[in-house]
Amino acid sequence: MENQKGWSSIETLLILVIILNLSSVGCSRQGAVKSQGIANEAPRIETKQPPQQKNISEKREETADWITFVSSQGGFSLRHPKNWAVGFQEPQNCFGDVGSDFVAGAAADLVAECATEYRGQIYLSSNEGNQLDSHKLETDKDYYQNLSSQKVTVDNVEGTRESGTAIGQFSEKWEEKNVLPGLPDGTNVVVYKFYIHGRTYVAEYNHRIGEPDILRDFSLMITKTLKFSN
């Protein structure tokens, strides 16, 4: 009986050890699963994008400190670089209504001169009526090559931008017509044309070989600062 009783105690002890081991394994697994669950449920750190900066145009910044020009007669206003020369050469030689015009150049000697054939680097005129066709660059009329044309919108007004290169304007054909010669060969010409409020606005840029190239500023002046009055 004692021997049988002793074996029962041992068996009981073994059973307890097995149960404890099983419990330990179960707890370990449960802990591992729980840990994994906590890891999986860890809060996600969202990377916030920096607030989108205002898309301030470089072009607009460049014209911010330009000088304002207003033509009450011509019905327009614009801004131009500070270092430009503005106004006709020898204004005492001018005649007619030139108060509605804007003339400028990279230097004083590159501005339009009245009573001569020189139109200067930049010329913006405003005239009554629709005169768009009379300012069109044509190969069979004004002797231009490499012509291009595209639509533009300035101050909510649709217009046209034309460009070309002068060629053959100092030929005998001009002398036969008894008119002043035109632009030297190789002069790059850009013309903006608009018709609004019963007036035609024409802005012309002439870049002769050897002169400073201010086309970029001219284009900014027209497309970003030109305003039409009512």
Distance CA 105, CA 115 (A): 18
Mean pLDDT, residues 148-160 taken together: 96
Residue 178, class by beta-carbon neighbours within 10 Å (0-12 exposed, 13-18 middle, 19+ buried)?
exposed
Check pLDDT > 90 for residue 103. yes
Check pLDDT > 70 for residue 120. yes
| Beta bridge partner(s), residue 162 | 149, 191
Per-residue pLDDT of 17-42, as tens digits, reads: 566 555 554 545 455 444 444 445 54
Cα 133 to chain centroid distance, Å, stands at: 28
Mean pLDDT, residues 158-167 taken together: 94
CB 104 within 8 A of CB 89: no
Cα separation values, 26 from 35, 37, 38, Å: 14, 16, 18
Class of domain 62-228: alpha beta
Q: What is the pLDDT of residue 35?
A: 47
Per-residue pLDDT of 127-144, as tens digits, reads: 899 988 877 776 665 688
CB 204 within 8 A of CB 190: yes
Map tokens 């009379």 to a residue. 134
Check pLDDT > 50 for residue 2. no
